[in-house]
Chains A and B, each alone.
Chain A
Amino acid sequence: MSKSNKTRTIKVDYLARVEGEGGVLVRIRGGKLAEVKLHIFEPPRFFEAFLRGRKFDEAPDITARICGICPIAYQMSAAHAIETACGVTVRGQLRALRRLIYCGEWIESHALHVFLLHAPDFLGYEDALQMVKRHGAFVQHGLQLKKLGNEIVAMLGGREIHPVNVRVGGFYRIPTKAEFIRWLRSSIVRVPKLLPQHVQLQGSSSPISSRTMNSLRCGTRTNTRSTKAGSFQTRDSTYQSRHFSTILARNMCHTQPRCIVCAKDAAIIS
């Protein structure tokens, strides 16, 4: 191979398909990386400064506005920071519900990144919309998976972006059993159609049993086990969580081979 001292420069003025604004400059000299410059021109917004002097219960809503794609991450971090400062731990089903809403955000955010933001690069397109012609089913699946995540966030938080229900100590309101079941029937029943296409659950060839999906659709009981309602006390009030399945939340986020809704010890309809 002939040694070349040629300098190659890759300059991107505006990075597309990322959250935030920035550019990148890469210089390669003689086949070796000589310089990498990341230029972030996202305007500063000074959250750390204007949070000073705000009341503790305002922090989750304010910090959410750092990023519209991952507001739960900020809401949770703010809530946890204040709870830690107060020596409070949120446990039990409230904790599980928090995990569930966080999982919703992960599903939404990951689907957005994998299908809409990154896939075009790997497949040689300028954006996901251009992929529709040749990879229509792939894009549709991505959108539906993303929607599924959004529905979890909206069911627990009120809306997909900057949800209103997360607070220091838990939630402002826990969804009723009826709301929860309505969501399960309208949303989760679509999972088996979506998952096997692009996601293989660990150790399982068929992630969700048809028996469970049928029972969920018909409203019959699957295996039930009553779980103790968790409670959490704050200075002004007590938040009593209803009988929701902690196991459901656990199954949503861990890579357990067990099915999402029918797991033997899951108590969805208790």
Chain B
Amino acid sequence: MPKSKKPKLAVWKFASCDGCQLSLLDCEDELLAMAGTVEIAYFPEASRAVVKGPYDISLVEGSITTPHDAERIHAVRRASKLLVTIGACATAGGIQALRNFKDVKEFISLVYATPAYIQTLSKSTPIADHVFVDFELRGCPINKVQLLELLSALLCGRKPNIPTYSLCIECKRNGIVCMMVAKGVPCLGPVTQAGCGALCPAYNRGCYGCFGPKETPNTASLATVWTTLGVSRPDLTRAFRSFNAYAEPFRRESTAHEQK
């Protein structure tokens, strides 16, 4: 068979829920066209075929939580020309980074009957803490339209058009009445990066920050507004401690309201 000239795509999984890589398979209308454009060289969730590296584009899902994974990510980096992290786990440590604020040994004994079998690190860390990352795609889960934009951009050699502004812009653009101003519902929208299409406000609830902090977020100011809405300090800590808890601005703000 002639050697494929198509760019090679690899999809890697670390500690995660598989949702972000499923977004690729959820592109039902575009999947076959995508497979015609790139060679899916390594994607265990979809194929048992393994094409040797180096890979032109590596999509990395999940956070680093085991000693084995901390080594494996370096091998992935070495085999990849472009390494892109997809989702909150890979870009911020994910929901499993809640262990970072507690004692992981206590966590192990709470959950597993035989803790001796469990190998885990005390912290769940994003990929960028370990290797150089070329681009980070946010979201828990990522938006599949953004994923397609990212892949097309990388294949054309241009910068992906992924905005870093806040969710508020999407909310206004969609004509959604402000949850916080009009209804007094606490919303993380002003400090959260756009990308989901302002889903939560469209469904009559405040944003819970699954796309992580926007560029230069003023979390302290938002916390003050939340306080005037009657949100207590423990509630503030928990609000910033969810799927992007270990992203620096959210981590700082949640710790500021933590009561010892």
Q: Which residues of A contact B (CB under 8 A)?
A: 14-21, 41, 43-50, 54-55, 58, 61-62, 65-69, 71, 112, 116-117, 120, 126-130, 132, 139-140, 143-144, 146-147, 150, 158-162, 164-165, 167, 171-173
Interface pair A17/B47, CB less than 8 Å apart: yes
A127 and chain B: residue at smallest CB distance: B47
A151 and chain B: residue at smallest CB distance: B28
Interface pair B20/A44, CB less than 8 Å apart: no
A159 and chain B: residue at smallest CB distance: B199
Residue of B26, B200, B205 with highest tally of chain A CB at under 10 A:
B26
Q: Which residues of B contact A68 (CB under 8 A)?
A: 16-20, 22, 141
Interface pair A41/B200, CB less than 8 Å apart: no
Interface pair B22/A161, CB less than 8 Å apart: yes
B6 within 8 A of A: no
B102 within 8 A of A: yes
Contact with A along B171-208 (1 / 0, CB 8 A): 00000000000000000000000001001101111001
Q: Which residues of A contact B202 (CB under 8 A)?
A: 158, 173
With contact pairs A129-B35, A130-B49 given, residues A58 and B238 touching in the complex (Cβ less than 8 Å): yes
A-B pair number, CB within 8 angstroms: 166
A228 to B225, CA, bound (A): 41
With contact pairs A162-B210, A172-B203 given, residues A127 and B49 touching in the complex (Cβ less than 8 Å): yes
Q: Which residues of B contact A48 (CB under 8 A)?
A: 110-111
With contact pairs A65-B243, A162-B19, A162-B140 given, residues A112 and B112 touching in the complex (Cβ less than 8 Å): no
Q: Which 4 A-B pairs have the closest CB atoms?
A: A68-B19, A127-B47, A16-B48, A126-B49
Contact with A along B85-96 (1 / 0, CB 8 A): 000000000111
**Other A-B pairs, 17, CB within 8 Å; known A66-B17, A127-B40, A172-B205:** A17-B48, A43-B62, A43-B96, A47-B95, A48-B111, A49-B99, A65-B140, A116-B46, A126-B49, A127-B48, A129-B47, A143-B28, A143-B29, A150-B28, A158-B199, A159-B199, A173-B203
Interface pair B26/A62, CB less than 8 Å apart: no
Interface pair B107/A46, CB less than 8 Å apart: yes
B180 → A minimal CB distance (Å): 16
